[in-house]
Structure 1
């Protein structure tokens, strides 16, 4: 360890990954649905500037959430879509600026499955459901067979565009997470039943992606510790998935939890004083030698340092803290700030707090944020209006997407 690392503490030690890349420190911007795409699946200037600012702030890794393989199953009309129909030059600009200052900029590869945005999608999940707030048809065996190559193709394009790595999204109730859950996966073929079969699609996606990008390109997986639903994906199954991931070629396991299924409380909206899933991370450490990242609940430098210093995890993922203070890693390194000032919202409607933080991202990318917080109701209205406008753009641009997917 060099003297500077000793001075700045465990968060600022480099982290070598199995693929050969060494990250500058132990702080990542974890994936968020920033909803800053232009409505045609392409990056905007605001989004590019947002990730540039986070890079300037001293992150080791920055992860762009919910980058879609196709237009048919997006989580939001502001998602990016990266495939052969995309304008790769626009992605190259995002990769260039988001990778400044030694930051490794990764794309989170997503497929919303049963949670796909209904105004632009026909949601499909492992099993058909017709419940209040959740309706989907069953994905076919043929479509399942195509998914690994779709993950691989998007990862290969990410590599070609200059991004530093990819993260396969298997958490928070989206498609791969749905396959892992016995509550939402009632299939009787080779992709349902015991956890060994329910994780099959995830493992196939990893293998196909590695074959496409080669041995030196980082591949991470985001995994729930549990989906926190009765009868759903639990910690015992999650540990079995972690043990299986240990035998793959991935470079990092990002541990989180919770789901965005209607009516379920998301992990990001829970209250608490410390990291949410640290105890599970300690259990996961016993069954894998892969680097572990923990996302959820970190609000202070001391919490982040303690988690890394304990050996339970190798890296911390920050999200809302970096929305409040984009330069937080540098401020921590320079001993200038221990924690950002988190706003408090009373009686916020479902999704309201997420809308507030999402609109704050737009302010940061526009260089217009102030110390005064935008009112919650105003943020919700702005978020809704933007979604409505981009839904129209999405539908016009991808007019055949729903009919053909």
Structure 2
């Protein structure tokens, strides 16, 4: 028998985006809104994203842990990071299960986990917020469905790390995992169709990380797409590329990016349109083609953004006109050693920005690059950091970009040894036009 319930807002997705949207809806209504959070995960809502698996594994390898101990420690760290405090979900009903839209104003939940005994639940609601996040994007490669493989999401399910590993995908997840696995003493081959790793970043950043990968023993097989995959007799994988360079490995890791997770939502039943890129289409108030359904984060074709999630939750209970969403700069990090973090524009984009100047500090310890606008009071347009503590330094730059603050504020506020000081040291170097010769720090 199907249970029935009523809500003002149903948020589908129990990750950090969903939790932020649900909490925002509750707060924006002054605590009066009936908010239901539907979480399809096995462990309940996760208000804080866990650290990337690659970083956890690399640290475990540095501590001398074997694979079994490393994966156990990584799993424990991820579980601890996702445990919500009671205040985060205060006043919000949490339902465990898989949700789908059943026409306008109705959500059906096939309850699971601790709630499974209650059977199906049908919720009548005024608004729905989609916050289901992303899932691994698998390449359309012949033979993949017949071959054993793991993704970054399932790597920790591997009980025994074999001597040979092939990683397909040289984006930020692929390169970080390739390096981390190599530090356990196994032979890793990184394969990608692009000519360089991290192809969306500046070329010298790619070169720095390629050198670090080779130092750790990672074999790079770049510049030729994978055209076929087949299982081997030892339950491993044979990977064939267009250029004819083949790889045989006992473990295949597919790290070719992420896609919006729309599985099971039945969006057409509620009139919600999905764009060509596979993401839900939203307007500047985060409403989908069905105005009673909003969306935030990867499901809407954006990177995880808690500010976007909070606005979606607030707009779901707005009594008057909903607020417009203005994208804010987000830090893109790569969990390699050295670490990489980028926010705003880099060298190549600076070349297309009139009046932009590049300040940088290049040395044996890494690279710090700050792009600023022209004029009498330059403002920060972007930062690229390749060194220890990269994410912290880029986060400071993100705040300056979001606030439109003068670049000089970095120098005014910097304390020795801080992330601010790292960026300020780069700004103290003479500026150059994008694309001109790099000045070494000596």
* Interval of TM-score (by shorter of Structure 1 and Structure 2): 0.3 to 0.5
The TM-score normalised by the length of structure 2 is 0.31
The TM-score normalised by the length of structure 1 is 0.33
Question: Is the helix fraction higher in 1 or 2?
Answer: 1
Question: Is the strand fraction higher in 1 or 2?
Answer: 2
Structure number with the bigger relative contact order (C-alpha 8 A, sep ≥ 6) is 1
